[in-house]
């Protein structure tokens, strides 16, 4: 498989059949070879820097019912909460002092946060923190809504495409949601001028090497500024409670492959990666990732934003532990930096 890895590095893509072969047949030795190449490329563009983003999970209400998600509307056991504008601003203040220069506002699709409400929040953050990037991750909205939020000062938008394959998408979501609409949102966001992040779960139910290949080819086509992938982890209160989780090895392999395919992309070592394995995030960085997103939400709500079981939300995952995070990154030769950390993939 090393030939395929060399070809991927050289051409920054592979023919569809070769992707399928590589994803299906790679060995641990192939993975080590891929990670070495990914680190070289990461270093060429970003040195040994790891960027941090302060994650503020500001609402866990959601009108949608995605089959894999712990905060889906049908989950009556979820303890619902919303943060106020003041509380969100306080998270930003705390984060700024800790060295964060990007705030990520993430939430379910919560009708309480109308365009006007979100514009007010984004404008207030923009005014108080002119040197920071504001990232939104609030799902599918209208183009007008995205435009209003961009005008209010949001710079970046995260919207995982989840799976490119329309039939597979339909197995993970109820019929009112579609892959086509989600992908259109991503094209709209890009067109408006956002730095866009997308991505998918690794090991989601019914995923195949073919659907993963289509995910890789979609990433190549969209050419986003950031790609977030993490293992699927089942949540006990969802229809997928008994499904098998995604693996560390495949997630890491795909992280390395994405670094070769989109050399300058921002690539987070996700919370889900840190949840399925001890030192999962460090493994992620050593496979080519260069972003971590500690949690800046108030401590008393963190455990309620439970998208999947056993999600880590204290310890190094908490924003308060930046110093410790720095130590663990330094131990593997990397350095947390105080920076907006804009993508070089433009």
C-beta of 72: minimal distance to ligand SF4 in Å? 4
**Which residue number, 18 or 65, has a Cβ lying nearer to ligand SF4?**
65
235 burial class (0-12, 13-18, 19+ CB within 10 angstroms)? buried
C-beta of 1: minimal distance to ligand SF4 in Å? 33
Query: Does 56 engage in binding with ligand SF4 (CB under 6 A)?
Result: no
**Which residue number, 4 or 58, has a Cβ lying nearer to ligand SF4?**
58
| Total chain residues near ligand SF4 (CB under 6 A) | 9
Q: Retrieve residue 163's tokens.
A: 């799976």
Contact 283, 270 (CB under 8 A): no
**Which residue number, 53 or 72, has a Cβ lying nearer to ligand SF4?**
72
Which range touches ligand SF4 (CB under 6 A), out of 18-26, 60-68, 129-137, 200-208? Answer: 60-68
Which range touches ligand SF4 (CB under 6 A), out of 27-35, 68-76, 146-154, 311-319? Answer: 68-76
Query: Does 197 engage in binding with ligand SF4 (CB under 6 A)?
Result: no
C-beta of 188: minimal distance to ligand SF4 in Å? 17
Among 38, 50, 52, 62, binds ligand SF4 (CB under 6 A): 62
Q: What is the CA radius of gyration of the chain?
A: 19
Q: Which residues contact 343 (CB under 8 A, 6 or more apart)?
A: 195, 225, 226, 264, 265, 266
Query: Does 71 engage in binding with ligand SF4 (CB under 6 A)?
Result: yes
Which parts of 281-340 interact with ligand SF4 (CB under 6 A)?
none
Which parts of 110-169 interact with ligand SF4 (CB under 6 A)?
139
C-beta of 200: minimal distance to ligand SF4 in Å? 12
**Which residue number, 69 or 118, has a Cβ lying nearer to ligand SF4?**
69
C-beta of 159: minimal distance to ligand SF4 in Å? 10
Among 18, 36, 109, 320, binds ligand SF4 (CB under 6 A): 109
CA neighbor of 119 nearest in space, from 138, 96, 100: 138
**Which residue number, 64 or 279, has a Cβ lying nearer to ligand SF4?**
64
Among 69, 125, 149, 262, binds ligand SF4 (CB under 6 A): 69
C-beta of 108: minimal distance to ligand SF4 in Å? 4
Query: Does 64 engage in binding with ligand SF4 (CB under 6 A)?
Result: yes
**Which residue number, 99 or 239, has a Cβ lying nearer to ligand SF4?**
239
298 burial class (0-12, 13-18, 19+ CB within 10 angstroms)? middle
Query: Does 185 engage in binding with ligand SF4 (CB under 6 A)?
Result: no
C-beta of 80: minimal distance to ligand SF4 in Å? 12
C-beta of 318: minimal distance to ligand SF4 in Å? 21
Q: Can you give the binding site for ligand SF4, defined by CB under 6 A? A: 62, 64, 66, 69, 71-72, 108-109, 139
């Amino acid at each position: 498989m090393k030939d395929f890895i060399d070809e991927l590095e050289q051409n920054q893509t592979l023919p569809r059949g070769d992707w399928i072969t590589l994803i299906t047949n790679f060995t641990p030795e192939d993975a080590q070879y891929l990670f070495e190449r990914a680190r070289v490329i990461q270093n060429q563009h970003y040195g040994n820097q790891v960027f941090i983003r302060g994650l503020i999970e500001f609402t866990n209400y959601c009108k949608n019912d995605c089959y894999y998600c712990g905060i889906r509307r049908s989950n009556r056991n979820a303890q619902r909460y919303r943060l106020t504008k003041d509380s969100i601003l306080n998270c930003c203040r705390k984060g700024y002092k800790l060295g964060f220069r990007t705030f990520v506002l993430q939430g379910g699709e919560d009708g309480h946060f109308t365009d006007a409400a979100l514009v007010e929040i984004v404008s207030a953050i923009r005014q108080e923190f002119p040197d920071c990037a504001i990232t939104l991750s609030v799902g599918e909205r209208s183009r007008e809504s995205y435009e209003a939020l961009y005008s209010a000062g949001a710079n970046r938008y995260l919207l995982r495409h989840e799976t490119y394959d329309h039939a597979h998408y339909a197995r993970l979501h109820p019929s009112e949601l579609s892959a086509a609409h989600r992908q259109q949102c991503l094209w709209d966001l890009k067109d408006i001028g956002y730095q866009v992040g997308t991505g998918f779960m690794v090991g989601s139910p019914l995923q195949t090497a073919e659907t993963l290949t289509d995910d890789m080819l979609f990433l190549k086509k969209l050419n986003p500024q950031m790609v977030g992938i993490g293992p699927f982890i089942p949540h006990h209160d969802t229809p997928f409670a008994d499904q098998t989780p995604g693996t560390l090895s495949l997630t890491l392999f795909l992280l390395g492959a994405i670094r070769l395919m989109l050399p300058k992309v921002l690539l987070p070592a996700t919370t889900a990666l840190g949840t399925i394995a001890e030192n999962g995030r460090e493994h992620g960085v050593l496979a080519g990732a260069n972003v971590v997103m500690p949690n800046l939400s108030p401590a008393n709500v963190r455990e309620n934003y439970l998208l999947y079981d056993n999600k880590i939300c204290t310890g190094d995952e908490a924003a308060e532990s930046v110093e410790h995070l720095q130590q663990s990154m330094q131990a593997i030769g990397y350095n947390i930096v105080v920076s907006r950390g804009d993508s070089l993939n433009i």
